[in-house]
Amino acid sequence: MKAQKQQRLYGVLVGITVVLLLAAQYILQYTFTSVSVELATVSESLDGLKKSAVSKSGLVDKYKQFEMTAGPSNQSKTYPENGRELYEVLDAVLNEHNIGHDNKSYTGGTAPGGVLQLQITFNGPYYGLLKSLAAIRESRYVMRISDFKISAKENGQVEGSMTVLSTARS
């Protein structure tokens, strides 16, 4: 009788073991299937991103070619010695095109590599402002205009402000 109980117990244990192994196999198969679907989705997204990157890289290359042929050479540009020199250049450009201006604030280092920042409020004819911006771009100094704000007044006049950034010559 004891042997029969042990046999039944072993039979039940083998049955439970088989059921547990089948359940584990099902869970692993389900996990592997969902991971492979997710991997395929990520792979498709990666392919799309690679194509987008190649496309944008081509556009950047074309822009660089255009800049080399149409734009002024940045290799011939230099940096101003200090903020005063930067202001003198901007003052001359704006005066040349009849743009009234006021230097609101100036921060700049005289140390090599220091950031030069000049905030200017301006007013004058719209086309004079456009010519001034073009002259700033074509200047012998490397400058960047940020925080540019403009509003229209009467008779083709405009007013606004801009921040001009550069780096002190090292």
> pLDDT tens, 9-51?
888 899 999 999 999 999 999 999 999 999 999 999 999 999 8
90 and 32 in a common domain? no
Q: What are phi and psi of 81, to 5 degrees?
A: -70, -40
The whole-angstrom separation of Cα 140 and Cα 85 is 12
Tell whether 158 is covered by a domain: yes
Tell whether 78 is covered by a domain: no
22 and 56 in a common domain? yes
Q: What pLDDT does residue 75 have? A: 59
- Provide the number of structural domains found in the chain: 2
Percent with pLDDT over 90 in the chain: 34
59 and 87 in a common domain? no
Tell whether 77 is covered by a domain: no
The angle subtended at Cα 117 by Cα 112 and Cα 122, nearest 5°, is: 145
100 and 29 in a common domain? no
User: Which residue's entry shows tokens 């004079």?
Assistant: 128
88 and 25 in a common domain? no
Tell whether 142 is covered by a domain: yes
Q: What is the CATH number of the domain that holds 157?
A: 3.30.70.60
Pair 97, 128: CB distance under 8 Å:
yes
The whole-angstrom separation of Cα 61 and Cα 52 is 14
pLDDT in tens, 85-101: 888 888 888 999 989 88
Expressed as residue numbers, the domain containing 46 is 1-71
